[in-house]
Structure 1
Amino acid sequence: MDIQKIGVVGGGQMGSGIAQVCAQAGYSVVLVDVSANALSRAHDTISRSLARLVKKAALDSLQADAALERISSHTELGALADCQLVIEAATENWAIKAELFGKIAEVVSAETILASNTSSISLTRLAATVAQPQRVIGMHFMNPVPVMPLVEIIRARQTDDATFATIRALTGPLGKTPVSVNDAPGFVSNRVLMPMINEAIFCLHEGIASTEDIDAVMKLGMNHPIGPLALADLIGLDTCLAIMDVLYHELRDSKYRACPLLVQMVDAGQLGRKATRGFYGYES
Structure 2
Amino acid sequence: MHRITVIGSGTMGNGIAHSFAQHGYQVSLMDIDKNSLDRALQAIEKNLTRQVNKQILSEDEKTLALQNITTFTSLELAVKDADLAIEAVSENTDIKLGIFRELDNLCPADTILATNTSSIPITQIAANTSRPEKVVGMHFMNPVPVMKLVEVIRGYDTDEHVTESIVSIAKSLSKTPVIVNDYPGFVANRILMPMINEAIYSLYEGVAGVEEIDTVMKLGMAHPMGPLQLADFIGLDICLAILKVLHDGLGNPKYAPCPLLVNMVHAKHLGVKSGMGFYQYPAKSKDIQVAKQFSRKLV
Query: In 2, distance between residues paired with 1:263 and 1:45?
Result: 30
Q: Which residue of structure 1 aligns with residue 52 of structure 2?
A: 54
Q: Is the 8 A contact 2:52 2:58 kept in 1?
A: yes
Query: In 2, distance between residues paired with 1:275 and 1:6?
Result: 31
Query: In 2, distance between residues paired with 1:203 and 1:197?
Result: 10
Q: State the Cα distance separating 1:283 from its structure 2 match.
A: 2.2
Q: State the Cα distance separating 1:194 from its structure 2 match.
A: 0.3
1:184-224 CA distance string (max 9 Å, x none): 00000000000000111111111211111111000000000
Pairing partner for 1:18 from 3, 16, 34: 16
Q: State the Cα distance separating 1:107 from its structure 2 match.
A: 1.2
Q: How many residues align?
A: 282
Q: Which residue of structure 2 aligns with residue 258 of structure 1?
A: 257
One-letter amino acid of the structure 1 residue matched with residue 25 of structure 2 = Y
The within-5 A match list for 1:43-192 is 43-78=41-76, 79-192=78-191
* DSSP-derived class of the 1:172 partner: helix
* DSSP-derived class of the 2:280 partner: coil
Q: Is the 8 A contact 2:8 2:30 kept in 1?
A: yes
* DSSP-derived class of the 2:279 partner: coil
RMSD over aligned Cα atoms: 0.8
* DSSP-derived class of the 1:169 partner: helix
One-letter amino acid of the structure 2 residue matched with residue 73 of structure 1 = T
Q: Is the 8 A contact 2:104 2:131 kept in 1?
A: no
Q: Which residue of structure 1 aligns with residue 281 of structure 2?
A: 282
Query: In 2, distance between residues paired with 1:71 and 1:272?
Result: 30
Q: Which residue of structure 1 aligns with residue 5 of structure 2?
A: 7
The runs of 5 or more residues in structure 1 that have no matched partner are none
TM-score (norm 1): 0.98
* DSSP-derived class of the 2:172 partner: coil
Q: State the Cα distance separating 1:85 from its structure 2 match.
A: 0.1
Q: Which residue of structure 2 aligns with residue 212 of structure 1?
A: 211
Identity of aligned residues (%): 52
Q: Which residue of structure 2 aligns with residue 38 of structure 1?
A: 36
1:154-177 CA distance string (max 9 Å, x none): 000110111111111111111100
Q: Is the 8 A contact 2:271 2:278 kept in 1?
A: yes
Query: In 1, distance between residues paired with 2:66 and 2:205?
Result: 47
Query: In 2, distance between residues paired with 1:68 and 1:236?
Result: 28
Query: In 2, distance between residues paired with 1:88 and 1:205?
Result: 35
* DSSP-derived class of the 2:180 partner: strand
One-letter amino acid of the structure 2 residue matched with residue 62 of structure 1 = D
Query: In 2, distance between residues paired with 1:132 and 1:60?
Result: 41
Q: Which residue of structure 1 aligns with residue 287 of structure 2?
A: none
One-letter amino acid of the structure 2 residue matched with residue 218 of structure 1 = M
* DSSP-derived class of the 1:225 partner: coil
Q: Which residue of structure 2 aligns with residue 242 of structure 1?
A: 241
One-letter amino acid of the structure 1 residue matched with residue 30 of structure 2 = V
Residue 27 (structure 1) aligned with residue 25 (structure 2)? yes
* DSSP-derived class of the 1:31 partner: strand
* DSSP-derived class of the 1:277 partner: coil
Query: In 2, distance between residues paired with 1:62 and 1:241?
Result: 42
Q: State the Cα distance separating 1:152 from its structure 2 match.
A: 0.5
Query: In 1, distance between residues paired with 2:39 and 2:282?
Result: 18
One-letter amino acid of the structure 2 residue matched with residue 41 of structure 1 = R
Q: State the Cα distance separating 1:49 from its structure 2 match.
A: 0.7
TM-score (norm 2): 0.93
Q: State the Cα distance separating 1:15 from its structure 2 match.
A: 0.6
Query: In 2, distance between residues paired with 1:240 and 1:94?
Result: 15
Q: Is the 8 A contact 2:84 2:112 kept in 1?
A: yes
Q: Is the 8 A contact 2:18 2:145 kept in 1?
A: yes
Superposed structure 1 runs of 4+ greater than 4 Å apart: none
One-letter amino acid of the structure 1 residue matched with residue 33 of structure 2 = S
Q: State the Cα distance separating 1:47 from its structure 2 match.
A: 1.1
Query: In 2, distance between residues paired with 1:6 and 1:167?
Result: 12
